[in-house]
Every structure is written in structure tokens, then in C-alpha cells.
């Protein structure tokens, strides 16, 4: 790797984590972590708002969880770019409150002020920026920030918003597994399959990457957003609390300070057990002392169910990626919990490859972000500088709705594949309409290309399988291929997605998508409801020609006719609830007809058959 340090300006790499965050940079020896004011490289992703409005970040904020839990926010990464309905499970775990009227955009109530998740994340990013500026003695205006591979466009945009609020120009969002692979220099392989196993404090992620000509493509991701080292801590803490209650005759679980001290003791013991065969859990509190020896054998037995829970998502991810275990060339370990010997052995047994553990698993993602930052700054000159797509790319689906295949800010080269089907019985041709933009409806996006996939097998609506593949090469040329999976017939077209668009036009399209997001989403829902209405109306029309229809009573047929007419009356209205209500009424009115048709089909199938 050739590095030119005559290039001005510092561009840092940031791992904005659920539990902890880090900032890194590249020097002559390679990527390095920037230490904080207290010398600690890890900055806890915790923010506390004091009664006087002062904002506290990191270790001091984590201490305030004991005394001011309702004013202190942690794990805010889980709330980024998500609506209230998306995060019901997460909210049960938090001591802080959600402000009224937070349905579409979450607002956290901290004292007499409300904050959005990007604003809270910006506090963490601002602290990392300040740490870097103090270390360099110079301004740090730009950064590369990592995000989970499964983050959708809204979550990625929320991360960029957080950077902007913190005073950072976010040059690139890099997938965390890709960053980890970059830190290990796996891009030098040119080709191969890489698995990235990420067991952090509160979440578990597994990603399978395909490396082709030095470029990473995420084939599949899986994981558990409520599984991590915290589960191990909580398990040991429960055991220790029971011991204390037995020895002291005192329930410590209601004493916040006592629980926090005991939690630190069990975490210290857990960390030591990664390096020694036995250690003690020790607590001195209010004149009393508790001590218990815990050996590695017992520890492994206790945590085996937790470690096993990570293996299921791994197997599903391998299956989703369409590869076998034998095809996986490298395994990278990320997250502090991967230091545990039982975790390492379980991963090695599953993937049959010795995992990479040379780098600090807490730091590896930030180190990879620093490598990407150095590429962007021009300091690293012998690596490919990857560009990103300025706007999302997708195709038109039923109802004039856009199905996005490659999202805005995706690193190119990029590829995506999705399966679609037909909407009409006996359909022989399928029109593929390629569009570009951030809006939900085709009419609000830019049309790039149209072509027909002809002579597909005529089948009932919904039975055909049409595979559409988008591939953007390093020059930004988009190749779209549509293929009938039954016959193998295919058609493709090349387009240049950003042709004819200025930066101002791109920015305007993005701004419109933000301003009109709520309106677009509502209209998309109405159109999808109309598609659903079309489907059921077509099915009812067919059923009216079936013998079973004439087996119904006059009242039952009249109820179906009435439900059909009422649905047709509201079909063109913009009232989503009303359309869904009439669809449900028609579903109920045709329930007896569906049962009669099923019975008739079964009788026909069994006719002349002896059981």
C-alpha cells in the first residue's frame, strides 16, 4: 500500500456503534485509533442531557445512567431512520421517553426538550470529531462512517444527517463488514468469499461478502438485534445477585449503584476468562464483601446456549448467499465478545476456517473506515477509489409504484437481483420500466429505459417468475437484465443512470423526496391497496362463473354483489382505510364461496378413489 502524506486535510474513519464508537486515521504504519481525552479509545455511545441543558457524552454519560436514566440515551443506533411502529420492541428496553406525535419521526423526550435519533448520534460524532481535532491540533471537516450492511436507505440517510449536524461532511458510508475486510487487507485477494461474524455488546450480525477483482459485494446478511455480550453479562449478573442474596440476606437487585458495581465485577471476570482458566467475581460494597471463583469450564457451559443462538443466523446467511461452507475462504471476527474462546471455536467449527483475530475486534471496523478515508483523501494511491450511486435505481411495479433495487449512496460497482411476477392470466410479455429517483411513485421519478421480455410461458397471474438483475460497473453504466426463470429467455439493456443530471438536479430530487416523504408514502399505500383490490375483484369475477357460486343462497350471492359494488365505489378514492375496509368486507362476503369451491375441488380430486 503506497501512502502519500503530502496530501492536506484530515479525513477520518468513524465506527458509529450501538454500544461504543471509535474514530481512526491512517499514518505511515497503517490505520490507528485516535484516543479520547481520558486516554480511552472507545467512546460509549451514550448521551445524557443535564437539567441545565448541558450535554454529556461517553463514559461520564454512562455513569449518569445510574442517577438520571430518564435523561440518558443509549443504543440510539437502533432508532435511526425508523418509525414508531418499527421500534416497539426496542422501546420496552429503554428508560427514556418518546415524545407525543412521534409516529413517523421519533422524538426522544429528555427533560423539557425533544431530540431526534440523528441529533443524539450527532452528539457522539461531535465528541469523536473533537477527540480527533485535539489529537491532530487541526480541524477535521470530513469523515467516512460505517453502517450495518442491512441498513436501509432511511437509516443510511439518518446517519448522514447525524454527521452533518455534528459538523462533518460524510464523504462515504461504508458497510461494516466491508470495512472489517478492508482493515485486514482482504481486498488484495482479488477474488473470494468472506464471512464477517460481528458479536457486539447488544447486537449480532453475520454477513457474507463476495470479493471480485478487489471489490466487495454483500451477498447476504442475517443476525439478531437483541443478542450480544450484554446477554452474557446479564446471565452472570443474575447468578451473582442470587449468590449475594444468599450470603448477605439482601436483595441487591433494587439498588442501582450496587447492581452497577456488581455488573462491572462480572464484566471484568468475563473479560479475564478469555485469557486465564479461572478468575474471581469480587465485590466490596457498603462494608460487605462478596467473592466467587468461576472457572472457564463452567463459564463455557453457562454461555453455550447464547453462543449457539449465533450459529442459526450464520447457517441461514450461508444459505441465503447461495454458497456452501466449503466456498468460504476467510472469516473475520468483529466485536469485543468474539475474544471469548468458546465463540472462536464455535465459529471455526462452523466455517471450517481459522478466523482472523490479529486485529483488535473492537477496533477493526473503525480501522477499515480509516483505510477508506485514506483512499478518498488521495493518501492511499494503489487502491481502487469506489464511487457511489447518486440516486436510487428501480423498476415500475403494479400500481405505478417503484421497487428500488439499488439504493442511493450504494458503492459502485454494485449489483442487485429481485424476483417479480405477472399480474394477468396468460401474460406473454412483461414491460420492464427502469427508473431513477427517491420518490415512491414512478410519475415522480426519472424514466431511464423501457424494454419488453417477450414470449414468457403463459401462466396464471402470480405464478411466473421473472428475475430482474441490476449491475452498475465501475464507469457508472447500468446493465438491466430480465430473465424468465422457467424458459431461460432473457433481455437486457445498458443505460447511464446519471447522464444529463447536474449535481443541483440530484440534490433537488433528494430534497423533494425528504419533503414529500409522508405524502408519497401515503399515496403508495393507496396504490398498493388498489392493486390488492384488483386482485380480489378479478378472483371474484372468476368465481362467479364457477358451479360453487350457484350453490350459494340468494342472500349470500347478494352480499357478494353488494360488497363488490361498495369496493368499486371507493376504489378511486384516496382514503386508504376505506379501501382496506371494503376489501375486508368482500373477503368476508366470499368466505363461504371459497369454502364451497375448495370442497368441490376436493370432491373432484377424490372421485373414484378408495381410501
CATH assignment at residue 288: 3.90.640.10
**522 or 103: whose pLDDT is higher?**
522
Q: Is the per-residue pLDDT at 291 higher than 90?
A: yes
Q: What is the pLDDT of residues 52-86, one digit of tens each?
A: 889 999 999 988 887 788 888 988 888 888 777 77
Q: Which three cell numbers stand for residue 227?
A: 443478542
Q: Is the per-residue pLDDT at 606 higher than 70?
A: no
Domain span at residue 599 reads 518-606
**476 or 332: whose pLDDT is higher?**
332
Last residue of a domain, one of 317, 347, 371: 371
The enclosing domain of 144 has a CATH number of 3.30.420.40
For residue 508, is it within any domain? yes
- Alpha helix stretches (DSSP H) within 27-152: 59-64, 88-91, 117-136
- Is 164 found in the same domain as 17? yes
pLDDT at 601: 63
- Alpha helix stretches (DSSP H) within 92-175: 117-136, 153-165
Q: Which three cell numbers stand for residue 513?
A: 423526496
Based on the structure, what is the number of domains in the chain?
4
CA dihedral 98, 102, 107, 113 (to 10 degrees): -80
* Average pLDDT score over residue span 574-599: 85
- Is 534 found in the same domain as 508? no
For residue 214, is it within any domain? no
For residue 276, is it within any domain? yes
Q: What is the pLDDT of residues 529-548, one digit of tens each?
A: 888 888 888 888 888 888 77
C-beta separation of 351 from 325 below 8 A: yes
- Is 493 found in the same domain as 576? no
* Average pLDDT score over residue span 223-239: 88
Q: Which three cell numbers stand for residue 610?
A: 378408495
* Average pLDDT score over residue span 454-463: 80
For residue 107, is it within any domain? yes
Q: What is the pLDDT of residues 258-276, one digit of tens each?
A: 888 898 899 999 999 999 9
- Is 447 found in the same domain as 573? no
Q: What is the pLDDT of residues 501-532, one digit of tens each?
A: 555 666 676 677 777 777 878 888 888 888 88
* Average pLDDT score over residue span 125-153: 89
Last residue of a domain, one of 481, 515, 549: 515
For residue 156, is it within any domain? yes
C-beta separation of 38 from 57 below 8 A: no
Q: Is the per-residue pLDDT at 493 higher than 60?
A: yes
| pLDDT band at 444; cut points 50, 70, 90 | confident
- Is 150 found in the same domain as 127? yes
For residue 426, is it within any domain? yes
C-beta separation of 350 from 310 below 8 A: no
- Is 573 found in the same domain as 597? yes
Residue with cell 478469555: 274
- Is 479 found in the same domain as 532? no
Active site residues: 15, 77, 176, 198
Residues 6+ apart with CB under 8 A from 544: 560
- Is 558 found in the same domain as 462? no
Highest mean pLDDT among 7-21, 202-216, 355-369, 482-496: 355-369
Tell me which long-range contacts 447-453 makes (C-beta under 8 A, separation of at least 24): 448/393, 448/478, 448/495, 448/497, 449/480, 449/493, 449/495, 451/480, 451/482, 451/491, 451/493, 452/491, 453/429, 453/482, 453/483, 453/484, 453/489, 453/490, 453/491
Give the Cα separation of 567 and 210 in Å (integer).
48
The enclosing domain of 440 has a CATH number of 2.60.34.10
What's the mean pLDDT when you consider all of the chain?
A: 84
- Is 525 found in the same domain as 506? no
Last residue of a domain, one of 515, 545, 575: 515
For residue 510, is it within any domain? yes
For residue 83, is it within any domain? yes
Q: What is the pLDDT of residues 32-41, one digit of tens each?
A: 999 987 778 9
Q: What is the pLDDT of residues 164-178, one digit of tens each?
A: 999 999 988 888 888
pLDDT at 128: 96
| pLDDT band at 610; cut points 50, 70, 90 | very low
List phi, psi (to 5°) of 513: -65, -35
Highest mean pLDDT among 114-128, 152-166, 547-561: 114-128
Residues 6+ apart with CB under 8 A from 393: 404, 405, 406, 434, 435, 436, 448, 470, 472, 478, 497
Give the Cα separation of 72 and 170 in Å (integer).
26
Q: Is the per-residue pLDDT at 15 higher than 80?
A: yes
- Is 498 found in the same domain as 556? no
pLDDT at 93: 64
The enclosing domain of 594 has a CATH number of 1.20.1270.10
- Is 503 found in the same domain as 535? no
- Is 277 found in the same domain as 415? no
**390 or 445: whose pLDDT is higher?**
445
Amino acid at each position: 500500500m503506497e501512502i502519500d502524506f503530502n496530501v492536506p486535510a484530515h479525513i477520518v474513519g468513524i465506527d458509529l456503534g450501538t454500544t461504543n464508537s471509535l474514530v481512526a486515521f491512517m499514518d505511515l504504519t497503517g490505520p490507528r485509533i485516535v484516543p479520547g481525552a481520558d486516554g480511552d479509545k472507545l467512546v460509549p455511545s451514550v448521551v445524557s442531557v443535564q437539567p441545565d441543558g448541558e450535554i454529556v457524552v461517553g463514559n461520564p454519560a454512562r455513569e449518569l445512567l445510574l442517577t438520571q436514566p430518564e435523561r440518558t440515551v443509549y443504543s440510539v443506533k437502533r432508532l435511526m431512520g425508523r418509525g414508531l411502529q418499527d421500534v416497539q420492541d426496542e422501546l420496552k428496553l429503554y428508560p427514556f421517553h418518546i415524545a407525543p406525535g412521534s409516529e413517523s419521526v421519533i422524538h426522544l423526550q429528555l427533560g423539557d426538550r425533544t431530540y431526534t435519533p440523528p441529533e443524539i448520534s450527532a452528539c457522539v460524532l461531535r465528541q469523536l470529531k473533537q477527540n480527533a481535532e485535539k489529537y491532530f491540533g487541526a480541524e477535521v471537516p470530513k469523515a467516512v462512517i460505517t453502517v450495518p450492511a442491512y441498513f436501509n436507505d432511511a437509516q443510511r440517510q439518518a446517519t448522514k444527517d447525524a454527521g452533518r449536524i455534528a459538523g462533518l461532511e460524510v464523504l462515504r458510508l461504508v458497510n461494516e463488514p466491508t470495512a472489517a475486510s478492508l482493515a485486514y487487507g482482504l481486498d488484495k485477494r482479488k477474488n473470494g468469499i468472506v464471512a464477517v461474524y460481528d458479536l457486539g455488546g447488544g447486537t449480532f450480525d453475520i454477513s457474507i461478502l463476495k470479493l471480485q477483482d478487489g471489490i466487495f459485494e454483500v451477498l447476504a446478511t442475517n443476525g439478531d438485534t437483541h443478542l450480544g455480550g450484554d446477554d452474557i453479562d446479564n446471565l452472570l449478573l443474575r447468578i451473582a445477585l442470587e449468590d449475594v442474596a444468599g450470603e448477605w440476606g439482601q436483595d441487591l437487585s433494587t439498588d442501582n449503584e450496587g447492581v452497577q458495581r456488581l455488573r462491572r465485577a462480572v464484566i471484568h471476570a468475563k473479560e479475564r476468562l478469555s485469557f486465564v482458566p479461572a478468575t474471581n467475581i469480587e465485590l466490596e460494597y457498603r462494608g460487605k464483601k462478596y467473592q466467587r471463583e468461576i472457572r472457564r469450564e463452567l463459564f463455557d457451559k453457562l454461555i453455550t446456549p447464547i453462543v449457539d443462538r449465533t450459529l442459526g443466523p450464520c447457517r441461514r446467511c450461508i444459505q441465503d448467499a447461495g454458497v456452501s461452507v466449503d466456498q468460504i475462504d476467510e472469516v473475520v471476527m468483529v466485536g469485543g465478545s468474539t475474544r471469548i474462546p468458546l465463540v472462536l471455536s464455535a465459529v471455526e467449527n462452523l466455517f471450517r476456517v481459522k478466523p482472523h483475530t490479529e486485529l483488535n475486534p473492537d477496533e477493526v471496523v473503525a480501522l477499515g473506515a480509516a483505510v477508506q478515508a485514506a483512499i478518498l483523501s488521495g493518501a492511499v494511491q494503489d487502491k481502487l477509489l469506489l464511487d457511489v450511486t447518486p440516486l436510487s435505481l428501480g423498476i415500475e411495479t403494479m400500481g405505478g409504484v417503484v421497487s428500488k433495487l439499488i439504493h442511493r449512496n450504494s458503492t459502485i460497482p454494485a449489483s442487485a437481483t429481485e424476483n417479480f411476477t405477472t399480474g394477468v392470466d396468460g401474460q406473454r410479455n412483461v414491460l420492464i420500466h427502469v427508473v431513477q429517483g427517491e420518490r415512491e411513485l414512478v410519475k415522480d421519478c426519472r424514466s431511464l429505459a423501457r424494454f419488453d421480455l417477450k414470449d414468457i410461458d403463459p401462466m396464471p397471474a402470480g405464478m411466473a417468475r421473472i428475475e430482474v438483475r441490476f449491475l452498475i460497473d465501475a464507469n457508472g453504466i447500468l446493465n438491466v437484465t430480465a430473465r424468465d426463470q422457467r424458459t431461460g429467455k432473457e433481455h437486457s439493456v445498458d443505460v447511464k443512470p446519471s447522464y444529463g443530471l447536474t449535481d443541483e438536479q440530484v440534490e433537488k430530487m433528494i430534497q423533494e423526496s425528504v419533503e414529500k416523504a409522508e405524502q408519497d408514502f401515503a399515496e403508495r399505500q393507496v396504490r398498493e391497496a388498489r392493486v390488492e383490490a384488483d386482485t380480489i375483484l378479478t378472483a371474484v369475477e372468476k368465481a362467479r362463473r364457477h358451479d360453487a357460486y350457484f350453490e350459494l343462497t340468494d342472500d349470500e350471492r347478494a352480499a357478494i354483489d353488494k360488497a363488490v359494488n361498495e369496493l368499486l365505489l371507493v376504489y378511486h378514492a384516496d382514503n386508504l382505510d376505506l379501501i382496506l375496509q371494503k376489501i375486508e368486507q368482500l373477503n368476508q362476503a366470499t368466505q363461504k364461496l371459497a369454502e364451497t369451491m375448495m370442497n368441490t375441488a376436493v370432491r373432484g380430486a377424490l372421485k373414484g378413489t378408495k381410501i
